[in-house]
Each structure stands twice: as structure tokens, then as C-alpha cells.
Structure 1
Amino acid sequence: MKDALVVRGGWDGHHPVEATELFIPYLREHGYDVQVTDSNQIYADSDRMGRVDLIVQSVTMSSISREACQGLRAAVEAGTGLVGWHGGIADSYRNDSDYLQLIGGQFATHPGKEPSLRHGDETDNYLPYTVEFTEEGSTHPITAGLEDFALETEQYWVLHDSLIDILATTTHPTRPWHPWHRPIVSPAVWTRSWGAGRIVVATPGHSVDILEHPTVRTIIERGMLWATRA
């Protein structure tokens, strides 16, 4: 059996329990022994991490100890896969530069609606947008055969480096109420090789219904299998 570790917590607005519960049955059906924890301090346990084949992380706007971060980095470098979605991986520990380097992309913002249409809740940041697969994404095992798709939810603006392999993008257009002057393309799905390990990030996933979207769910499920230690 493969050994999977689900680490969840942080900001409750991303529903870390409900979101990860969507994917635990899939892992078990595919022969994974799954352990679930609400503490990232498990990353500091080198004996435990040495046996983990896949980490699924859903932890938003939290903090991580130096020992835990270094343990996570060491595990991935040694071959452990790391997969997550939305803020659960792209905005987990924004104050830790070593974590940001490991992931290769960091949430910066999600642009909002026209001001007169805002109601003071999370839907103020729900915009219609399209996720478009790249040429590399058209043949990658995670995204091959999938078609561009539309969502209405938070559209992540991501700061990233050139070491990521971008499988899908999304474009932030210019709008009269936003201050930028030309469209901005952000990665929406990417992978990253780190030592012997593989990392997969999907930025859609603010709410459970978005994770249940057939294409989003397929990307995450395929991503978990692909990232697992070979």
C-alpha cells in the first residue's frame, strides 16, 4: 500500500475538513493507507516523513515552525509527493520564505467585482473566468484530454518563478475599477520537480462545490496519483 498523509487546518473559510474528505475515499480506493492530522508539526518527524509517499495539504493562512518546514522540504526532496489546491497550498505559510521557494508560486490577491455589486461577503470576489490549458498541459498525464473550462469563484493572481511547469493558466482582464492597464496571465495549475519529489498545485478550490467540478476534481485526483513517490 502507498502511504498518504492528509494535513489540514488553518483558516476555516476554505473548509479544510470538508474539502479533504472529498478525496480521502479516492485515495483509499486506489490502495493508499491514509492518515489525517490537523497539525503540520508532523512534518518535523523525520521517521514518519521518511515513510510518506504522498502529502495532501489543505492549510490556509497559517504558520509553520522552522523544524516542520525543513522536514517538509527534506521529505519532498527525498521523493514524497505534495499536492494541494487554492489557499491550502498556495497561501499556507506566507511568512516562510523556504516554504514559498518549495511551492514556486504564492497567492497575491483575488480581484473583486465592480464596487456597486459588492455585498460585503466572500462573493464580492467571485468573478467569471476561464481556465485554459497550455500546450504542455495538453499532453501531461494530469491534464491530457481535458478541455478549457469556466468557473465563477475566486480567481487567483499568483506570484511565481520560472521553475514551475504550467499546465493551465487564467487571465485577469483590465476592468475600469481595477488599477492595472493590461491583462495579467497567472498559472492556474502547475507542477514542480524538487529533488526526487513532485509538487502539484491547482488554484481553483475556494469552496467544496468548486472542488466537485468534474474537471477540477479530475485534476486533483490525477495529480495525487502522479505526484506519489514512484
Structure 2
Amino acid sequence: MSEPARQRQALVVRGGWDGHHPVEATELFIPFLRENGFDVRIEESPAVYADAEVMAATDLIVQCNTMNSIEKDELLGLRAAIEAGTGMAGWHGGIADSYRNSSDYLQLIGGQFATHPGRHPDERPGNEEDNYLPYTVEITDLGRTHEITAGIDDFELNTEQYWVLHDDLIDVLATTTHPTQPYHPWHRPITSPAVWTRLWGKGRIFVATPGHSVDVLEDPNVRTIIERGMLWASR
């Protein structure tokens, strides 16, 4: 008799800045993971990345950990696991603004939050909505055929629009363009990746920049992209 198939293992690593609601945001996707056959382990810090045995058995990391720090042994463990085939997925600052103390983490992910341009100074209420802007997520030619974004048309959001510093090793499935405004210092529109994938060794990495708050994650387009992205990234 053949042995039963091993259940896939998902590791949810959450924490950091409370403004991104790491518990509520990840709880939104945990039922989906379980429905798709994952056993889910939850950790509140990246310390688990230094556990080589756990990482070797992990098929998918879902990270929601903003503006935190990572220790050298944790980062080495994370990189080694992904190179060996563990997948990684995340959204917004939970993956693209996670460990500002590590340039090696930035290289791993391939894109880093730089800023989110704000409203006109006269239209800022003095809270997080200062940086809420209407913008378009535009699916690229690659995105129109990729399994993560196929069948999804360009869509509108009103939330933080990430300006991302990135390299050419990412495969961009969607972009967003920051227009010029008289109250901003740049002089031509800037296009940033909004959804991308990255191959790293034997592993796959998926990033979506929308996701500042739970209501954005519940947008049907955003949620579909993230759910598909997690499945794509998994070993």
C-alpha cells in the first residue's frame, strides 16, 4: 500500500506595527488555507525562521509583519528555506515593509516600500486617511495570462498607493502609476509594481501591495489575487 499524502504545512508569521492589523488580516485567510489542505501554524515573530527543522517542513510562509526587525540567524534561515523550495506570500507592509534593518531581506523580496503619496495638504484629516488616494491597479500583459491574475481586469481602490523600489528580477503582474501633482516634488508619473512574483532558488515568492486594512483585503479583486498567490507560491 502507498503511504498517504503528506498534508501541506503553512506557517503564518505576523506581528509588527498594529496599524496593519496583523491578527485580523491573517485570520481572514487562514480558513482558505485550511480549506485547501494546509495545516496552519501561527507564530507572532520571525524567530521561527531560525528553526531549520520547522522551516524544512514548511511549504508556505504567509507573512504579515510590518516595520519589525529580523536577526541574522532568522534571515539566514528564511533565505535557506526559500532557496530549498519553501514558498512565501504576503501583502502590503507585511512583506514589502517588514525588516528595514536587513538589505539581504530586501534583496530576497525584490521590492521595498518607499512611501505612499498623500492627498492635497488641504484635504488631509490628520489621520491615516491622509494617504488614502483613488488609484488604479493595472494588470500587465504577463498578468493577463498568469494564473494569479488571469481573468481579472484593471480595478480601482481608495487606500494607500505604494511607491515601491524594486529590481528587474521580479515578474510584474500588475502596476500602479503615481501622477504628478503640484504639491509633490517629482516631475513625471512614476509606475510601481503592485503585484509581483519572484523565483528564488527552488522557491517562489508572491507579493501584493494593496492590503493596508481589512476592508481592502476583502475587496474581491484583492482577495482573489492574494488567495491565488498563496497557492501559487506554495511548494
TM range (shorter): over 0.9
Runs (4+) of structure 1 moved beyond 2 Å? none
Consecutive unaligned residues in structure 2, runs of 5 or more: 1-6
Deviation readout 1:131-181 (Å, 9 max, x if unpaired): 000000000010011010000000000000000000000000001111111
Alpha-carbon separation, structure 2, partners of 1:39 and 1:127: 31
Q: 1:146 aligns with which of 144, 149, 152?
A: 152
Deviation readout 1:44-67 (Å, 9 max, x if unpaired): 000110000000000000000000
CA apart distance, 1:94: 1.3
CA apart distance, 1:82: 0.2
TM-score by length of 2: 0.97
Instruction: State the partner residue of 1:35.
Output: 41
Alpha-carbon separation, structure 2, partners of 1:107 and 1:185: 13
Instruction: State the partner residue of 2:201.
Output: 195
What's the secondary structure of 1:181's corresponding residue? Answer: coil
Alpha-carbon separation, structure 2, partners of 1:99 and 1:39: 15
Alpha-carbon separation, structure 1, partners of 2:72 and 2:21: 26
Identity level (%): 74
CA apart distance, 1:194: 0.1
Consecutive unaligned residues in structure 1, runs of 5 or more: none
Instruction: State the partner residue of 2:223.
Output: 217
Alpha-carbon separation, structure 2, partners of 1:23 and 1:215: 14
- Asked if residue 72 in structure 1 is aligned to residue 82 in structure 2, the reply is no
Backbone CA RMSD of aligned residues: 0.4
Alpha-carbon separation, structure 1, partners of 2:68 and 2:58: 22
CA apart distance, 1:193: 0.1
Alpha-carbon separation, structure 2, partners of 1:182 and 1:140: 30
TM-score by length of 1: 0.99
Alpha-carbon separation, structure 2, partners of 1:119 and 1:226: 39
Q: 1:62 aligns with which of 30, 50, 68?
A: 68
CA apart distance, 1:114: 0.2
* Pairing 1:123-202 to 2, within 5 Å after superposition: 123-202=129-208
Which AA in structure 2 matches 1:202?
Answer: A
CA apart distance, 1:95: 1.6
Q: 1:23 aligns with which of 21, 24, 29?
A: 29
What's the secondary structure of 2:100's corresponding residue? Answer: coil
